[in-house]
Amino acid sequence: MMRRFAFLLLIPLAFGYTPPAAANYADHPRAQALLDTLRADYGFDTEALDAVRQSLAEARRLPELIQQERNAPERTRTWTEYRAMHISEAMIDKGVRFLREHAETLARAQAQYGVPPEVIVAILGIETRYGGYTGRTRVLDALATQGFDHPSRTPFFFSELTAFFVLAHESGMDPTKPKGSYAGAMGWAQFMPSNIRRLAVDFNDDGTVDLWTPEDAIGSIARYLIDYDPASAWRPDEAMTLAPRRFEVRADAITFNPKRPNSTIAALARLGAEPTRSAPPEQPAGLLELERSEGRSFLIALPNFFSVMRYNPRTYYAMAVGELAEGISRATGHPPGRYMP
C-alpha cells in the first residue's frame, strides 16, 4: 500500500509558450460518468469530487496529442527506421554506464524478480533515455484529451484518467502538477496511472513510490515483467528470439507478428522455420516479419519476446529492447545470443 507518491515536476522548455485555451472538461457529457465511478467504486466524498471537477475545469485540450498517439513511430516506421531511433553505439555505451552505476540495485531486482539487468536497462533506455527525458506534457491534459476525445481508444484512456484521479487522491498529489508523455505515462519507467497503482514499488525503502528515481524505476520494471501478466512472465535464462536455419513459410500459413505466441518450435519447424539453436519442441513461439530498407527478414519469437510486449504491445518496441539488451550484454563481456541472434 502506498504511503505517499513523490513527483518530479518538469519546467516547460519552450520560451514564450502560450497555453491553449481550457476545454472545461468538467462540462463534458462523460464527466459525470467519471465522477459517478469515483464515488461508487473508490469512495470519493463530496469534497474529493469537487476537487476532481476543478481539475477537469483546468484541463486543456491538446488535439495534437491524439495525432502523436496515432502516429507513434512503432506503428508507422519500418524496422530499419525505428531501430535507428533507438539502437546506436552511444545508446549501448550509456546503457553500460547506467548498468555499472546501478549494479547493486539491478542485481537485487534480478534476485527478487528474475529479470536480468540488461533487459531492465534497455527498457529504461528505450522509454526515457535512461531517465534523461520523461516528458513535458501535463498528465492531466494528456489523459483528459485522450480520455474524452480520442476517436478510437477512449475507453482505455478514460480508464487511465480515472486511475490518475484515484492515484492523486490516495497519495495526496495535486493532479494538475505531474508531467509525462503524450499518452499520460510517467517517470523513468513511463508507467500509466493504473500500473503505478498496481505494480510500482518502493525499491529503495524510503517510504515513497517515486518513478523519477532510478531505484524505484528499476524495481518497478522488474516487477512489471513478472506480475503484469503472470502467464507471460519473464523466463530467466532464456533468449527473446532465435534465427531460423531456413525460412520457407508460406505467407498464408500463419499470422506473423502476433501479440502472443501462436505456435510452437516444433510446429514452426514443420512450416519451414527451423531454429539455428536447439529449443524445446513444445516451447511456445511465433514468427516475426521485419520490414527493412533492404527487404524483409524473419525471426522466431520466444516467450520472453512476448513478455516485453506486455510493456508495449508493438513488435518493433520489443525488438528494440531486445537488441539494446543484447548490445549492452555483449559490451559487458557476455557471449552473443543471450537475447537476440
C-alpha cell at 338: 543471450
3-state helix, strand, coil in the chain (%, to 5): 50, 10, 40
Nearest to 101 by CA among 214, 189, 217: 214
Q: How many CB atoms lie within 10 A of CB 321?
A: 29
CB 25: neighbour CB atoms within 10 A?
25
User: Which of the following is catalytic: 69, 127, 215, 326?
Assistant: 127
User: Phi first, then psi: what are they for 153, rounded to 5°?
Assistant: -120, 25
- Grid coordinates of 43: 469512495
Side-chain-side CA neighbours of residue 32 (13 Å): 2
Any catalytic annotation for residue 69? no
Contact indicator for 192, 167 with CB cutoff of 8 Å: no
Q: Which position has the grid cell 462540462? A: 27
Length of the chain: 341
Q: Which amino acid is at 308?
A: V
Catalytic residues, by residue number, are 127
